[in-house]
Amino acid sequence: MLGRLRPYMAALWQAPARFLLARGIHPNVMTVLGTVGVVLGAVLFFPHGGIWLFWGVLFITVFVVTDMLDGTMARLGGKSSRLGAFLDSTLDRVADAAIFGTLAWVFIDIDRSTALAALLCLAIGSLVPYARAKAEGIGVAANFGLAERSDRLVISLVATGFYGLGLFPLWVLTAALWILTILAAITVGQRIGAVVAHARRHPEWNARLDDPQPYPHE
């Protein structure tokens, strides 16, 4: 849903992207820096609970911005590469693991339902980009769905931050995480459905495997 705003956000970040490029900073550096910042914010702030959840969200948000900056920098500087795409996708999973994994650990002794929701949000959420990558790897477009990464991050971080400030009761955070889990599951289903539909429309495509591999192939 929020992924539709990416073109507008990219335009917004053009000025800082040009500033960083002018100083010789490579987009891949921003990708790594952003991930390190998110991980540090999650593991250093979140475990303290309370108001520290809010400060952790603010810290993480600063570094999440680099996820938008690196792509803009790569396009403006002509530095787009397969390595950059690999790093961006892989390190996004690392950042998600730090955020949702830490939330699960924080709430395990406070509210098991919240902890489980955070864990499932991480597990099922990781299947969303996986389904897209596997689909596009066999030639089927699957860049759509109800809850992309940006949606999960924004909603979960806002709910966590407001809970840390005492503005949201715990059940709001719990409900947000469960809703995101359900939306992520639906998104995975949508992408699986796209591949199934493509296979039914093109039986000759479905019957051909260019590079047979033993299952499971990773």
Distance CA(20)–CA(24), nearest Å, equals 7
Query: Is 12 a member of any domain?
Result: yes
Query: Is 212 a member of any domain?
Result: no
Query: Is 214 a member of any domain?
Result: no
Query: Is 217 a member of any domain?
Result: no
Query: Is 218 a member of any domain?
Result: no
Question: Where residue 146 sits, what CATH number does that domain have?
Answer: 1.20.120.1760
Domain count, the chain: 1
Q: Which is higher by pLDDT, 69 or 127? A: 127
* 70 catalytically annotated: no
- Reference 180, options 86, 105, 99, 110; nearest CA is 99
The contacts of residue 156 (CB under 8 Å, 6+ apart) are: 99, 100, 103, 121, 176, 177, 180
- The pLDDT tens digits for 84-100 are 889 888 999 999 999 99
Tell me which residue range forms the domain holding 49.
2-206
The contacts of residue 192 (CB under 8 Å, 6+ apart) are: 131
Is 6 a residue whose pLDDT tops 80?
no
Cα 114 from chain centre: 19
Alpha helices in the chain (DSSP H): 6-12, 14-22, 27-45, 51-76, 82-107, 112-137, 149-165, 170-201, 203-206
Active-site choice (67, 70, 88, 92)? 92
- The pLDDT tens digits for 142-167 are 888 887 788 889 999 999 999 999 99
Query: Is 91 a member of any domain?
Result: yes
Query: Is 26 a member of any domain?
Result: yes
Q: Which is higher by pLDDT, 128 or 69? A: 128
Residue 13: what pLDDT? 73
Cα 85 from chain centre: 14
Task: For residue 101, name the pLDDT band (cuts at 50, 70, 90).
Answer: very high
Query: Is 140 a member of any domain?
Result: yes
